[in-house]
Amino acid sequence: MNTFHFSSRNTKEILRDPITLIFSLGFPLVLLFLLSAVNSSIPAEAADATALFRIENLAPGISVFGLSFISLFSAMLIAKDKTTGFMLRLFTSPLKASDFILGYTLPLIPMALAQSAVCYAAALFLGLEFSVNLLAALLVNIPITLVFVALGLLFGTLLNEKAVGGVCGALLTNLSAWFSNIWFDTALVGGWFEGLSNALPFVHAVNAARLACAGKYGDLMAELWWVIAYAVVLLTLAVILFAVKTKHSDK
């Protein structure tokens, strides 16, 4: 089995769980419509205090938050394979640890792009202006997708199938929500909370998506490099950890 066939097999495994797919697409859309409705009912004199809920800010934020569910897909894939004999059979193939991680990652990138595209398409009906900047916003979401995929692969390698549901399905989504500047400006909280938010990749991913939507490309890379660095480090750790687990399983 080569990396392409392994990636194709993982795509089929993901598509066999339509309920999870529908939830990962539907929940962000529900939030988008709900918060847009809330924003439309806010008096004009209070609009400046709720700028984050304007559609041009809300849509990029929700598109990034929705990608947090991708970590659950990657974690469940690898955790399920560990509980079956499939993983042991894979270890007899010529695939290296990096090939395995690539095979788990590749199917999730088009899924993430589709998820973001659906989010932005819905936002158009809520007043978001259509422009070529939306394409840039989709591409900007790829690094944060890799961050979430890598986190899922790390937890999926370390934990069993039941545990990853709690960690990636609840803990990680909440972390990405609270420390991302989507619902409130972390600078208003200040202190250690703002410092921790700026140290994590989520707020930078949201800022990058918003800058892309606004066409402010000059400021974009300062935010995006932070996310790219996280993606590279986490994917490297995932490869190393998977290689270590593979060696231990051979003993």
pLDDT per position as a tens digit, 129-187? 999 999 999 999 999 999 999 999 999 888 887 788 778 777 888 888 889 888 888 88
Looking at residue 187, its pLDDT comes to 85
Q: What is the mean pLDDT of the chain?
A: 85
Range of the domain at 33: 3-250
Mean pLDDT confidence for 35-54: 67
Looking at residue 236, its pLDDT comes to 95
**Would you place residue 248 in the very low, low, confident or very high pLDDT band (cuts 50, 70, 90)?**
low
Listed in sequence order, the residues at least 6 apart from 175 whose beta carbon sits closer than 8 Å to its beta carbon are 200, 202
Looking at residue 89, its pLDDT comes to 66
Looking at residue 132, its pLDDT comes to 93
Which burial class, exposed, middle or buried, applies to 29 when counting CB atoms under 10 A from its CB (0-12, 13-18, 19+)? middle
**Are 90 and 6 within 8 A, CB to CB?**
yes
Looking at residue 80, its pLDDT comes to 83
Looking at residue 40, its pLDDT comes to 72
% of residues, the chain, pLDDT over 70? 89
CB atoms within 10 A of CB 130: 10
Nearest in space to 136 (alpha carbons), one of 207, 204, 215, 65: 215
**Would you place residue 119 in the very low, low, confident or very high pLDDT band (cuts 50, 70, 90)?**
very high
Domain count for the chain, please give it: 1
Looking at residue 44, its pLDDT comes to 56
**Would you place residue 223 in the very low, low, confident or very high pLDDT band (cuts 50, 70, 90)?**
very high
- Residue 109, token pair as written in the block: 């990138």
Return d(Cα 179, Cα 214) in angstroms, integer: 22
Looking at residue 26, its pLDDT comes to 79
pTM for this entry:
0.90
Comparison of pLDDT for 244 and 199, the residue scoring more? 199
Nearest in space to 201 (alpha carbons), one of 164, 153, 146, 158: 146
pLDDT per position as a tens digit, 76-106? 888 888 777 666 666 667 778 888 888 889 9
